[in-house]
Amino acid sequence: MRVGLGELEERSGDSASASAFYQQAAQVSPADPGGYAAYGRYLLEQGDISGALAQFQAAAFADPRSQEAYTGLGDVYRHLGRFSEAIGAYRSAILLNPDASPDPYVGLGEVYKLTSGSIEPALGVYQGAAGVAPGSSLPRWAIGNVYRARGDLKTAAFYYQAGADVEPTAALVRTELAWMKVLLGDWPGAKAEYETAIALQAGNP
């Protein structure tokens, strides 16, 4: 409940109250990794990397099988440039529950991209994420980005469209799809996607 209240306060822009609720969640239920992980995610978004690391480590200690904890650790290590540790954390998250979330797959793909100097090695990881999360636009958006980097705009548009199809309320993927349609000369299609994205961002799909 406190995590939910923290999320509400964070969305309303009240950072102090959000932080207080996240801290309370961790203190009231120390055996539950969810409170630590939620607070860690909040701290990471605020730029407090060391604080986030401590919270995700606490989450992993509270429950060594928490996928959210290891995904968060991977995110922190990636931000710190500790790529081998990030890869280990993301792989642990994937092995704990390979079908639960695309997030560790996507994070692992980002590390491969950073360490290889090319986006290409990430493609297989993104495809794996799409396979385990058929209702998520995020891995399809990531696959689209790979093809966009290649200059293959039609295939990029195909994957952005796939993301919009499986998650129609995802404004990010619709914005990317609109830009691909601009580049491909589909002006009416681009206008429709931009209008949809604007409505979604305004909360009026």
Contact indicator for 158, 150 with CB cutoff of 8 Å: no
* Cα atoms in the 13 Å half-sphere on the side-chain side of 51: 14
Q: How many residues does the chain have?
A: 205
CA-based nearest residue to 40, from 81, 13, 69, 62: 69
pLDDT mean by block of 10 residues, the chain; 205 residues: 48 56 58 83 92 95 93 97 95 82 88 86 87 89 91 96 94 94 96 92 69
Task: Give the whole-angstrom CA distance, residue 27 versus residue 24.
Answer: 5
Residue 27 confidence (pLDDT): 60
Contacts of 131 (CB under 8 A, 6+ apart): none
- What is the Cα gyration radius of the chain? 18
Contact indicator for 159, 141 with CB cutoff of 8 Å: yes
Residue 96 confidence (pLDDT): 84
Residue 68 confidence (pLDDT): 92
**Tokens (6 digits) for 124:** 């297989």
Residue 91 confidence (pLDDT): 87
**Tokens (6 digits) for 72:** 């968060």
Residue 125 confidence (pLDDT): 87
Residue 157 confidence (pLDDT): 97
